[in-house]
Structure 1
Amino acid sequence: MSDGTPKRSRSLWLVSVLLLLSAAALWGSSRLVWSASARDAGVRGIVLDQRTGAEEASAVVPLALLALAGVAAMIATGGWPRRVFGAVLAVAGLAACWTAVNGVRFGGFPDGAPVAEIHAGRALALAGGILMIAAGLAGFKGAGRMPRLGARYSAPGAKRSVRDPDTELWESLSDGEDPTASR
C-alpha cells in the first residue's frame, strides 16, 4: 500500500468524525437553555421564561442534520462535488458560529436563571460550528486525495496481477470484460 491509501482513508475518517461530533454538539446545544428572562404572568406573578436552543435559534437543529448529511456526502462523492459539499459545510459552520454568538449576554440575568447552562449551550453550538468548518475545509482541501464510494468501478486502472483463476474471472467481470470470450 505504497500509494498512501491508509493516509487517504484516515483523512476521510477524520472528516466523518468531525462532522459527527459537530452534529452531536449542535443537537446537544439545541436541547440546552439558551436564554432566560423574567416575565409577568398575571395572577402567578413574575415567572422565569426559559428558551432552549431550538426555540431561541431555530437553525441549530437543521444545521445538525446538515452535518449528518455531510457525512454521507463526503463518503459518497469525490472530486469537484466533494469540494462543493466541503464549501457548503464550511459556510454552514460559519452560520452555526454566528447563531451561537448572536445575542449572547454575560450579565443581566434574572434570579434563578441557569447561567451556566445558557453559556454551555451557546459554547457547545460554537464548538459544533467550528468542527463543521474544520470538516468542510478538510473535505474541500482533500477532495481529490480521499477515497470515494465505488471508485474501484469508476475507471479501469492498470491490470492487477491475480493469483486465483476464479478471482481472475470475477475481476474481469468487474472490469467489464467477458471472461468466457477468450476461453
Structure 2
Amino acid sequence: MSERKAGRRATGIAALLLALAALCLWGSSRMTWVTVTSSDGLGVDRVTELDGGTWAAATTPLALVLVAAIAAAFAVRGWVVRVVGVLVAVVAVVAALPALGLLTGGASDEQAADIAGFERVGTQVVATEVATAPALLVLLGSLLTLAAAGVLVRKPAATGGLSSKYDSPAARREATARRGAGEGHEQPRTQRMLWDALDAGEDPTDDGEKHPGAPGTRPEGD
C-alpha cells in the first residue's frame, strides 16, 4: 500500500472514531446523570433530573469540537495534522474528567444543589442518585477520541490535506518550481502541472531549447 493510500486510510479511520466519539458525548448530554430529591419543608419532596448538558456543561460543546476535528483531519496536512491530534487528545481528557469524578466520588449534596440552582432559602437536598450509564458512555467516547488522536499523530506527514487547487498562488508557483527542478523534462506533464506553470507565468511548452526559426534565434552560418 502506497504512502498516500495509507494516509487516506488513516484519515478515514480517525474520522470514523471521531464521529462515534462525538455521538457518545452528544447522547450522554441528553441522558440523566444525577437525580436530586429536595425539600423546602412546605410540601412534598421535589425531584429534579440533571442531564449531562447541565451536570457537565462542556459535554455538548466538546462533541461539536470533535465534529470540527473531522473536517480538520481532511483539510490539513503535514505537521498540522499532529497538532490536531494533540488537541483531540486534550479534548478526550477534558471530556472524561466530569465522568470520572462522578463515578469515583459520586454527587455531593452541595454540588447537586448548586448545579440544580436551589437558591431558595430553606430548600435542602434530601438525596441524590447517580446514573452510571451516561458517565460510562462519556468514557467510551473519550477512549475513541484518544484512539483517533493516536491515528492522527502517527499519520504520514506527506499525505492528506485538500487538493492543490486550494493552495495559494505562491504555494503553487513554489510547487511548480520544485517539479521543474527535480523531475526533468522526460516525464509527461499532467494537466494540473500545465495550469500551475501558466499560473506561475511560465510557458509549459518551452523545453528550454532554441529551435531554428523560433523568435530570438539566428540561422546557422550568420
TM-score when scaled to structure 2?
Answer: 0.66
1:172 aligns with 2:183: no
Query: Does residue 34 of structure 1 match 2:56?
Result: no
2:98 equivalent in structure 1: 99
2:164 aligned with 1:142: no
**Aligned equivalents of 1:90, 1:58: Cα separation in 2:** 19
Contact 1:93 1:132 in 2 (8 A): yes
Matches of 1:5 and 1:143, distance apart in 2 = 8
Q: Which amino acid in structure 1 is aligned with residue 132 of structure 2?
A: H
Q: Which amino acid aligns with 1:36?
A: T
Counterpart AA for 2:27:
G
Deviation at 1:107, TM superposition (A): 8.3
Query: Are 1:131 and 2:111 counterparts?
Result: no
Listed as ranges, the gaps of 5+ residues in structure 1 are 163-167
CA RMSD of the aligned region, Å?
3.1
User: Which residue type is aligned with residue 89 of structure 1?
Assistant: V
The percentage of counterpart residues that share the same residue type is: 26
Give a deviation string over 1:34-76, Cα, whole Å, max 9, x none.
1112111554411222100000011101110110111111111
Q: Is the 8 A contact 1:75 1:148 kept in 2?
A: yes
Partner of 1:76: 75
Change (3 A) 1:4 1:76: same
Work out the CA distance in 1 between the residues paired with 2:2 and 2:90.
32
Instruction: Please say if residues 9 and 147 of structure 1, whose CA atoms lie closer than 8 Å, have aligned partners that are also in contact.
Output: yes
In structure 2, the CA distance between the partners of 1:169 and 1:85, relative to structure 1 (3 Å rule), is: closer
Residues 107/89 of structure 1: CA separation in 2 closer, same or farther (3 Å cut): closer
Number of residue pairs matched by the alignment:
173
SS at match of 1:142: coil
- Residue of structure 1 equivalent to 2:57: 58
Q: Deviations over 1:2-56 (max 9, x none)?
A: 6333322111100111111111110110000011121115544112221000000
> What displacement does 1:131 show?
1.1
Choose which of 145, 158, 161 in structure 1 pairs with 2:188: 161
Is the CA contact 1:169–1:179 (under 8 Å) kept in the aligned structure 2? no
Q: Which amino acid aligns with 2:94?
A: A
Q: Which residue of 2 aligns with 1:16?
A: 15
After TM superposition, the runs of 4+ consecutive aligned structure 1 residues lying more than 6 A away are 105-108
Residue 171 of structure 1 deviates from its aligned partner by: 3.9
Name the CA distance, whole Å, in 2 between partners of 1:133 and 1:107: 25
Q: 1:100 to 1:143 in 2, by over 3 A?
A: farther
Deviation at 1:83, TM superposition (A): 1.1
Gaps of 5+ in 2: 108-125, 207-213, 215-222
Q: CA deviation at 1:169?
A: 4.9
**Which entry has the higher C-alpha Rg, 1 or 2?**
2
